[in-house]
Structure 1
Amino acid sequence: MKAINRQRQKVVPKATGLVLEIGIGTGLNMRHYDAAKVEKIIGLDPAMQMHRLAKKRIDQTGLSVELMGLPAEKIPLPDASIDTIVMTYTLCTIPEPVQALKEMRRVLKPGGKLLFCEHGAAPDEKVRNTQNRLQPVWGKLAGGCHLNRDIPALLKEGGFLVDDIETMYVPGPKAFTYNYWGQAYCEAA
């Protein structure tokens, strides 16, 4: 978990202005936001039971946070209303990832950014084959998590240009630990 926490530290502090966090879950990102740069955070997560746990972490930060119990495929915000979208270890479980990314693009202001840190398809053929073999069972055991999603391809299909991306295996079994992190912007319409 320390490695995952270090990954979060690479992207979350870059958030500015009005922030939409996709998949806020239990609020693990809360301590990484820079309160001096963030006006407000809107935390979106369909798992309402997570909100109680997130609230405890939110209360420790002093950040202004509004929680919404909806999926990323149906973001209830106006067009071009968000400065920064933060998405960490969430795209793997979104049932319709391209639809969700298109919704994110819709609510992002011109010049806004999507900060992401996700696990996904490994570049090594042997590891990727293992991911593909594990996926049917893993998805059922891990709440719909997809080990083998091609994160850069999904971002592009969702209408984003990846400006900055880094990759690596974090410590652990390779089939579960290939990480992508960076930032993306909306393609011009």
Structure 2
Amino acid sequence: MAAFYDRHILPHVIGCACGAGPIRHQRAKVVPRARGRVLELGIGGGLNLAFYDPAQVDSVTGVDPSEGLRRKALNAPRPDGLKVAVLDGAAEALPFEDSDFDTVVCTFTLCSVASTDATLAEARRVLRPGGRLLYAEHGLSPDPQVARWQRRIEPVWKPLAGGCHLTRPVSATIAASGFELIDPACMYLPNTPRVLGWSEWGEARRD
């Protein structure tokens, strides 16, 4: 039953949740900043593709371990002229050379990877010196009462939401991985329960 849910139902659940209006608005804040050769971690159903500027982006390579979501990404709307490749892969072990990309995009992905440390180390490895990580994520609230509820709910939430964690810090984890934060921002997403809605976004530069 769990395998059936993960293969046939979960991609639709994730597509609906991650395509909600407040989350789309967060994507629109960071994805248009991408430049050059772009790697997207956890491309999912391709919801970011509509926000890339083909005049600024040479190509977008997306990786995702879910076959169902990769199929959605291949058919997702995108601007004319945007070159897109969608590959099977895990963010913790990327099949690319060092310094291969100008921009890495990571949106609503760090919550569900097996290891944030390994994912961010790989992102840093495949970025050229001076390359940028663009991120928009949800995670651990700074409000103690909300954080307590996040910890209570997380064990039930994770299997229903594809391993999504509610209690992972975002910007602090990125900074601890060796990136320089450029313009971090944060807020609760509107029309979203606070246990799910703490969002952080911005740019981080590789030295």
Specify whether residues 42 and 127 from structure 1 end up closer, same or farther in structure 2 by C-alpha distance, changes over 3 A only.
same
Whole-angstrom CA distance in 1 between matches of 2:81 and 2:45: 16
Q: Which runs of 5+ in 2 are unaligned?
A: 1-19
2:72 maps to 1:53:
yes
Whole-angstrom CA distance in 2 between matches of 1:12 and 1:35: 12
Whole-angstrom CA distance in 2 between matches of 1:18 and 1:180: 24
2:204 maps to 1:184:
yes
Contact (CA 8 Å) 2:30, 2:136: kept in 1 or not? yes
Shift in Å, 1:60: 6.1
Show the counterpart of 2:60.
41
Show the counterpart of 2:116.
97
TM-score, normalised to structure 1's length?
0.95
Whole-angstrom CA distance in 2 between matches of 1:23 and 1:107: 15
Show the counterpart of 1:159.
178
Whole-angstrom CA distance in 1 between matches of 2:200 and 2:178: 18
2:22 maps to 1:3:
yes
Q: What amino acid does structure 1 have at the position aligned with 2:83? A: S
2:147 maps to 1:128:
yes
Whole-angstrom CA distance in 2 between matches of 1:12 and 1:148: 24
Whole-angstrom CA distance in 2 between matches of 1:58 and 1:80: 29
Q: What amino acid does structure 2 have at the position aligned with 1:180? A: E
Shift in Å, 1:157: 2.9
Q: Identical aligned pairs, as a percentage?
A: 44
Decide which moves more: 134-143 or 22-31.
134-143
Specify whether residues 138 and 121 from structure 1 end up closer, same or farther in structure 2 by C-alpha distance, changes over 3 A only.
same
Show the counterpart of 2:137.
118
Whole-angstrom CA distance in 1 between matches of 2:148 and 2:76: 38
Contact (CA 8 Å) 1:30, 1:61: kept in 2 or not? no
CA RMSD of aligned residues (A): 1.2
Contact (CA 8 Å) 1:58, 1:65: kept in 2 or not? no
Contact (CA 8 Å) 2:185, 2:200: kept in 1 or not? yes
Whole-angstrom CA distance in 1 between matches of 2:158 and 2:25: 25
Q: Which runs of 5+ in 1 are unaligned?
A: none
SS of aligned partner of 1:132: helix
Shift in Å, 1:164: 1.2
TM-score, normalised to structure 2's length?
0.87
Aligned match for 1:169, one of 188, 194, 203: 188
Specify whether residues 9 and 129 from structure 1 end up closer, same or farther in structure 2 by C-alpha distance, changes over 3 A only.
same
Specify whether residues 177 and 111 from structure 1 end up closer, same or farther in structure 2 by C-alpha distance, changes over 3 A only.
same
